[in-house]
Amino acid sequence: MIFGNPQPYALTLDKFLTHAAKWHGAREVVTGSAPARTSYAALHDRSNRLSGALFALGLGQGDHLATLAWNTQAHMSCWYAAMGAGIVCHTLNPRLTAGHLAKMIGRAQGRVLAVSGGLAPLVQELIDQCPAIEHVVLMDDGAPDDPVPVVNGARLWHLDDLIARHGAPAVWGAFDENTPAGLCFTSGTTGDPKGVTYTHRSNYLHTAHLLQADVMGLGSGDTMLVAVPMFHANGWGFPFAAPAVGAKLVLPGRDQDGASLARLIAAEKVSVAAGVATVWLGLVDHLDAVGGELPSLKRLLLGGSAVPQALMDRLEQRLGVIVQTSWGMTELSPLGAMTPASATDRISARSGRPPMGVDLLLTDEHGVALPDQRGGEGRLHVRGGSVVERYFGEADKATDADGWFDTGDLATIDADGQLSITGRAKDLIKSGGEWINPAEIEAIVGGLPDVAFAAVVGRAHAKWGERPILIVEPRAGREVSDETLLAALRGRIANWWLPDAIVRRAAMPLALTGKIDKMRLRAEYG
């Protein structure tokens, strides 16, 4: 019997930009810092010709193109040029040191580096430490005379000149959907960084996760601002999701201060914006200082660390937007859960439900599933088609025998299926043989109107092993007393959880992802 079957149609990422070029060709991709604008049709043609130029530089399927760049249309061209041709796009964080970046490039055996303008000193250091780099491509969003000294045989190209000389049409997607598409390292600051490889299939499925109605629910009528760096887990997948539905895409470039974002949102009539909370805190601080409204803006998608309820309320009230909180990790591509725009009960501690295609499991400290997955706190595990199975270059799997990846997060799932991250297992403080969860203290203190940021770390103690220290950054122009802070905690946590000391900082140290830098705080106060 011949049953018949559907067409073999590989889930490759080039199809998103090809779709946008064919059906939404006139919709724009705008770079704020240049400024520059193009259409999906023009971006498709330019990216496709750039694929031919990358071939001319000696790259082929399975090779890595390293990008050291901000959110720009030139960076997006490099993404699709590489991925469409089967080349792996290895995104690098310009805020890391040359030493950390060199280690990542070396592990990926990168030979071609594409960079944004204004990074000449860092590029010089990288070339010195990466003799295998043969070509440096300066993206056209930088100043044309931006000097990048070339040493160790590496040749410098300006992107326009490279395309003019070697650009040629290329066949896209002529490979299996399980072909690697992207590489992102989770951290370069503690020990050896861990690389996460994304395949075309995994990122295609992740895009489908994002576009579900109760997740991002983006449409062709939206204008989306991506303030999430494209070097952080592929910009959370938004540079794939926007062309997939034909939404106008706005990329801010390097400038993400409150004034720059306010101008860009107003000028381009942005309706949906995504980024970490600190970015939007800068935006509302700017608006409070100079006045003004952003009537086009309807939704903010927040990721990174947990958002204090007071900040969430402030964003919604000052901007008149719906705030959607989320949880994710580089290893998840990165979406794990998101609150829907339709939610009526908005609680900042909630991260929402997982999209179809992602599954969650709570276990005890030994990895045994909790008998009741609702209500109790456990260690969070996840699996799905966009979840890492093994790290780049590692022989051993990062998952257990049943395919579950241990996130290292502690979490609860309520009766309605809403996920709440309650802390990191490694952040727990053991005092007198009992555990203190810093996240619970931080949530209470961070919700006070006079507090901008709050963090709790453990400090060594001769008798108890560790004791909690509270570090706060007051809001600009505000003061908050020790008694006010402690009064907010009394009756809401056990008395023995109360911090032994309170430290104030003018500015809380932030890690490269925009989260509070707990490692630095432990080094200073632990």
**pLDDT tens track for 89-110:** 999 999 888 888 999 999 999 9
Find out whether 420 and 350 touch, Cβ atoms under 8 Å: yes
Name the percent of the chain in helix, strand, coil, to the closest 5.
Answer: 30, 25, 40
Q: Mind listing the pLDDT tens digit for each residue in 501-513?
A: 999 999 999 876 6
Q: Mind listing the pLDDT tens digit for each residue in 23-50?
A: 999 999 999 977 799 999 999 999 999 9
Query: Residue 324 above 80 pLDDT?
Result: yes
Query: Which class does domain 14-27+37-201 fall in?
Result: alpha beta
Q: Mind listing the pLDDT tens digit for each residue in 246-299?
A: 999 999 999 999 999 999 999 999 999 999 888 998 999 999 999 999 999 999
Q: Which residues are catalytic?
A: 186, 331, 430, 435
Find out whether 475 and 450 touch, Cβ atoms under 8 Å: yes
Q: Which band of pLDDT confidence, cut at 50, 70 and 90, is reported for residue 300?
A: very high
Find out whether 11 and 177 touch, Cβ atoms under 8 Å: yes
- Reference 92, options 130, 44, 37, 43; nearest CA is 130
The mean pLDDT value for 413-436 works out to 87
DSSP per residue, 102-169: HHHHHHHT--EEEE-TT-HHHHHHHHHH-TT--EEEE-TTS-TT------TTPEEEEHHHHHHHH---
Three-class SS of 346-396: CCCCEEEECCCCEEEEEECCCCCECCCCCCCEEEEEEEECCCCCCCCCCCC
Average per-residue pLDDT for the chain: 92
> In CATH terms, are 14-27+37-201 and 428-525 the same topology?
no
Q: Mind listing the pLDDT tens digit for each residue in 149-167?
A: 556 789 999 999 999 999 9
Q: If residue 409 lies in a helix (H) or strand (E), which one and from where to where?
A: strand 405-413
CA 313 to chain centre: 23
Give strand pairing partners of 227: none
Contacts of 431 (CB under 8 A, 6+ apart): 458, 461, 464, 465, 466, 467, 468, 496
The mean pLDDT value for 453-461 works out to 91
Find out whether 268 and 225 touch, Cβ atoms under 8 Å: yes
- Segments making up each domain of the chain, as ranges: 14-27+37-201, 256-425, 428-525
Query: Residue 141 above 90 pLDDT?
Result: no
Residue labelled with tokens 């580096």? 113
How far is Cα 256 from Cα 234, in angstroms, rounded to an integer? 18
Tokens of 338: 């998101």
**Could you tell me the fold of the domain covering 428-525?**
GMP Synthetase; Chain A, domain 3 (3.30.300)
* Strand pairing category for 350-352 and 335-338: unpaired
* Strand pairing category for 248-251 and 28-31: parallel
- Does the pTM of the predicted model rise above 0.85? yes
Query: Residue 143 above 60 pLDDT?
Result: no
What dihedral do alpha carbons 104, 105, 110, 111 form, nearest 10°? 180
| Helices and strands of the chain, counted as H and E runs | 14, 25
pLDDT of amino acid 189: 40
- Reference 13, options 170, 220, 207; nearest CA is 207
**Could you tell me the fold of the domain covering 256-425?**
Rossmann fold (3.40.50)
